[in-house]
């Protein structure tokens, strides 16, 4: 970054959207003081490594898979749950690797995804208006006005839950959990009822054959098969929290957010003169920017100029979430504007957030086929424009929930009440996520041929 005058607290002079109003200012300051004294969660070098990997994906040397909960909950910090989160991303990534024939960069929406931007301040629960749930880092989902009051102590809890989650992720990986040779890595029993199971089984057998074949020649590096990288990410929403985890690298003099490897700016907080953009422009982490249908080409260029003034490769990942029906109309102009301005950006697609529908009764859902449709159209537009889609971003879980309709189990709106567990947006369940990975692999393969 060229601006040496930037400071981690500089954002506080700008209008900051989506910040909780803490009734007890002293308690809030005390919580931030505690966080500032805590050790970082990730290392400078790991962040640099991810930036380089993202730059590679932008050049076509890899493919990005970013995924996890919409709202991660403190109670999700359990051994089985964390292992399942890793496993689903790992399985999806290997399926994608088979499709792209290039390494997949795995980034979890976990170990810190505890704060949510919301469209309204209040919601109606049983006929009463209550302050809205803003994520476990802010308030409790319990439907009472006391529970919904923002509690600064939750910021400290968020840090410790993130630390415990990440610690377990690191221990699992060190212990060989992500070893591609483990049979349980390949337990895809949830997929057996997919109408595409025959094709998937063939793909799986081929992947396993390839691993065995390389091993029998001593050609598979055991450290590569046994140790796979996972990176963490979350939306950088609560600026006091993010500032408290911002540290200066003594070697380079650059500031890093060491609460996660990657952070993104949400669609509701991307105002070019707003506090979030001011904070993000100063950190050296790779950052994501959600690009919604309301983003005009000139808005995007203004954001790119502020967020990536040195035009660094891998610095900025543009995550489009336009909605399936708007891709052809909006995306070409955005791609052309970025290209014509000579701006470097890595393009990813979040096919979830532009395709949310609210059913009668207020439940939100997403249709698997519409989600896939946005991805397919996005792949096509990038190809027509002579560029490339370098990654995908999903809200998903390894659990067998019923939140999105369609997919291999042909879930209908009538099925949703069976296991609707999200605290925020509907996620793809285990078999829907794996099916999606197979279908993306198919798309990627057809692009190469
Ligand atoms: C999200 O990723 O959970 C989210 C709120 O997305 P967006 O900012 O794109 O609406
Ligand atoms: Co969401």
Per-residue pLDDT, 203: 83
Within a domain: residue 264? yes
Distance CA 421, CA 423 (A): 6
* The two structure tokens encoding residue 350: 């979040």
* Per-residue tokens: 179: 């070893």
Q: Pick the ligand that lies closest to the CA of residue 290.
A: 1
Q: Does the beta carbon of 70 lie inside 6 Å of ligand 1?
A: yes
Determine the pLDDT at residue 3.
Answer: 82
The dihedral built from the CA positions of residue 379, 382, 383 and 389, taken in this order, carries a sign that is negative
Q: What integer pLDDT is reported at residue 183 of this predicted model? A: 60
Q: Which ligand 1 atom sits nearest the alpha carbon of residue 290?
A: 9
For residues 432 and 398, give the distance between their C-alpha atoms in angstroms, rounded to a whole number.
10
> Distances in Å between the alpha carbon of 350 and those of 27, 252, 289, 389?
37, 33, 11, 11
Locus of tokens 């792949």: 379
Q: Which residue has the tokens 């081929």?
A: 206
Q: Name which of 367, 368, 369 is nearest 359 in CA terms.
A: 367
Q: Whose CA is nearest to atom 1 of ligand 1?
A: 70
Alpha helices by DSSP H, listed for 233-317, are 239-244, 275-281, 297-307
Is 382 exposed, middle or buried (CB count within 10 Å of its CB: 0-12, 13-18, 19+)?
Answer: buried
In a domain, 5, yes or no: no
Q: Which of 326, 431, 330, 318 is nearest to 373 (CA)?
A: 326
Q: Distance (Å, rounded) from C-alpha 196 to C-alpha 445?
A: 16
**Quick one: three-class SS letters along 365-388?**
ECEHHHHHHHHHHHHHHHHHCCCC
Ligand nearest to C-alpha 427: 2
Q: How far is the CA of 70 from the centre of ligand 2 (A)?
A: 4
CATH of the domain at 178: 3.20.20.70
Locate 242 and state its tokens: 């993010």
What is the predicted pLDDT for the residue at 342? 98
> Residue 405: which of 377, 434, 426, 376 has the closest Cα?
426
Nearest to 265 by CA among 433, 115, 95, 163: 115
- The DSSP 8-state label assigned to residue 75 in this structure reads G
Q: Give the end-to-end CA distance of the chain in Å, rounded to a whole number.
A: 40
Pocket test for ligand 1, best of 67, 70, 393 (most atoms within 8 A of CB): 70
**Is any atom of ligand 1 closer than 6 Å to the C-beta of 396?**
no
DSSP run (H or E) holding 317: strand 316-321
Question: Which residues constitute the domain of residue 422?
Answer: 10-448
pLDDT, residue 225, reads 56
Angle ∠(125,141,124) on CA atoms, nearest 5:
15
Rounded Cα–Cα distance for residues 186 and 132 (Å): 40
CA distances from 48 to 54, 331, 411, 433 (A): 10, 29, 41, 29
Sign of CA dihedral 205, 210, 211, 212: positive
Q: How far is the CA of 319 from the centre of ligand 1 (A)?
A: 10
Assigned domain for 2 exists: no
Distance from residue 201's CA to the centre of ligand 1 (Å): 34
Residue nearest to ligand 1 atom 6, measured at CA: 266
Q: What angle do CA 54, 397, 118 make, to 5 degrees?
A: 80
- DSSP category for residue 354: T
**Count of domains forming the chain:** 1
The tokens for 107 are: 């980034």
Structure tokens at 332: 């070409």
Task: Specify the DSSP element, H or E, that contains 247.
Answer: strand 246-248
Does 3 map to a domain?
no
**Residue 309 Cα to ligand 1 middle (Å):** 25
In DSSP terms, which residues pair with 320 in a beta bridge? 291, 349
Q: Does the beta carbon of 290 lie inside 6 Å of ligand 1? A: yes
In a domain, 147, yes or no: yes
Burial of residue 77 (CB within 10 Å: 0-12, 13-18, 19+) is buried
The widest CA-to-CA distance across the chain, in whole angstroms, is 67
Per-residue model confidence (pLDDT) at position 2: 61
Average pLDDT, consecutive stretches of 10 residues, N- to C-terminus, the chain (449 residues): 87 98 97 98 97 97 97 97 93 89 94 97 92 98 96 98 97 82 71 83 83 68 64 98 98 97 98 98 98 98 98 98 98 98 98 97 95 98 97 97 96 96 96 95 82
Mutate to test the pocket of ligand 1, among 66, 118, 266 (most ligand atoms within 8 A of CB): 266
Query: What one-character DSSP code corresponds to residue 404?
Result: S
Q: Encoding tokens for residue 29?
A: 């300051």
The answer to the question of residue 382 being in a domain is: yes
Closest residue by Cα to atom 4, ligand 1, is 266
């Amino acid at each position: 970054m060229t601006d040496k005058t930037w400071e981690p607290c500089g954002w506080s002079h700008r209008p900051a959207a989506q910040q909780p109003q803490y009734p007890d200012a002293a308690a809030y300051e005390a919580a931030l003081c505690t966080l500032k004294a805590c050790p970082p969660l990730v290392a400078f070098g790991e962040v640099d490594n991810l930036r380089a990997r993202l730059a590679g994906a932008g050049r076509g040397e890899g493919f990005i898979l970013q995924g996890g909960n919409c709202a991660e909950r403190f109670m999700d910090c359990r051994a089985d749950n964390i292992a399942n989160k890793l496993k689903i991303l790992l399985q999806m990534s290997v399926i994608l690797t088979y499709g792209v024939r290039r390494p997949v960069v795995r980034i979890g929406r976990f170990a810190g995804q505890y704060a949510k931007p919301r469209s309204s301040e209040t919601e109606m629960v049983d006929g009463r208006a209550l302050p809205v749930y803003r994520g476990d880092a802010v308030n409790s989902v319990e439907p009472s006005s006391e529970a919904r009051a923002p509690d600064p102590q939750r910021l400290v809890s968020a840090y410790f839950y993130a630390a415990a989650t990440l610690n377990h992720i690191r221990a699992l990986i060190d212990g060989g959990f992500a070893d591609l040779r483990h049979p349980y890595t390949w337990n895809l029993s949830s997929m057996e009822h997919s109408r595409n199971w025959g094709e998937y089984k063939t793909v799986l057998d081929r992947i396993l054959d390839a691993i065995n074949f390389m091993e029998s020649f001593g050609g598979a590096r055991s450290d590569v098969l046994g140790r796979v990288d996972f990176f963490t990410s979350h939306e950088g929403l609560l600026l006091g929290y993010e500032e408290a985890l911002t540290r200066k690298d003594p070697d380079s003099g650059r500031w890093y957010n060491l609460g996660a490897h990657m952070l993104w700016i949400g669609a509701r907080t991307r105002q070019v003169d707003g506090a979030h953009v001011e904070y993000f422009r100063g950190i050296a982490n790779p950052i994501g920017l959600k690009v919604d249908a309301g983003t005009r080409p000139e808005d995007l260029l203004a954001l790119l100029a502020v967020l990536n003034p040195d035009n660094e490769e891998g610095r900025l990942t543009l995550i489009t979430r336009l909605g399936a029906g708007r891709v052809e109309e909006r995306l070409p102009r955005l791609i052309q504007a970025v290209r014509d301005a000579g701006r470097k950006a890595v393009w990813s697609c979040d096919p979830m957030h532009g395709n949310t529908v609210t059913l009668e009764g207020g439940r939100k859902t997403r249709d698997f086929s519409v989600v896939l449709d946005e991805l397919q159209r996005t792949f096509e537009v990038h190809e027509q424009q002579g560029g490339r889609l370098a990654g995908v971003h999903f809200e998903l879980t390894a659990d067998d929930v019923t939140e999105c309709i369609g997919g291999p189990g042909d879930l209908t709106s009538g099925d949703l009440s069976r296991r609707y567990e999200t605290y925020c947006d509907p996620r793809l369940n285990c078999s829907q996520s794996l099916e999606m990975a197979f279908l993306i692999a198919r798309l990627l393969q057809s692009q190469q041929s």
